[in-house]
Amino acid sequence: MRKYPFFLLLITLGVGISSFHKPKYDTGIYLIVDKSKYEMREYDADDNWLVTYPCVFGSDDQSDKMTEGDRRTPEGVYHVVLKKVHPKWDKYLGLDYPNAEDIAKFNDRRAKGFIPAAAKIGGAIGIHGTWPKQDFVVDYLQNWTNGCVCTKNEYIDEIFKNVPVGTKVIIKQ
């Protein structure tokens, strides 16, 4: 019987020491993606504008992502959670979509009947380059992704070098 309280104490201490909260990131820079302007702006920690990159998205419908497969780009505050070289789109910066706010919006919309009960929220949203030799899609503002943010390969190469994992990315209308 005496082992049970000791075991409970160990679990309580373990939970208290570990964190179930997402760490607060401070990478010194952040990105703002403005869907209505087809641009991604990089800022430093003092809110100084550094550079602007043209970008395109998924659907021509610039509203917020509703469900998996709608090709819309989500709106909200995200963080870069992974960086990798991608075989099709040059470089890829994965975002933490869906996050808690996205899940709450999704569940609220589903409860109100705005989206079907069987709909899924989706995932795998990121920032990436274009297909090889297809940078013209950015010049002509051709939205083609499945909800990601896309810029020219030369720009994604710069961003990939300058933007560490943990960088805040704000996507807005």
Reported as type and span, the H/E element at residue 154 is helix 153-162
Tell me the pTM.
0.83
> Tokens for 98?
């869906």
13/53: higher pLDDT: 53
Maximum CA pair distance of the chain?
A: 72
- pLDDT band for position 13 (cuts 50, 70, 90): very low
91/20: higher pLDDT: 91
Q: How far is CA 135 from the centre of its chain?
A: 21
- HEC letters along 82-150: EEEEECCCEEEEEECCCCHHHHHHHHHHHHCCCCCCCCCCCCCCEEECCCCCCCHHHHCCCCCCCCCEE
**Res 12 pLDDT > 60:** no
Q: Which domains does the chain have, with CATH numbers?
A: 55-166 (2.40.440)
Give the tens place of pLDDT for each residue, 63-119.
Answer: 999 999 999 999 999 999 999 998 888 999 999 999 999 999 999 999 999 999 999
Provide the pLDDT for residue 28.
Answer: 87
- pLDDT band for position 25 (cuts 50, 70, 90): low
**Matching residue, tokens 């401070």:** 26
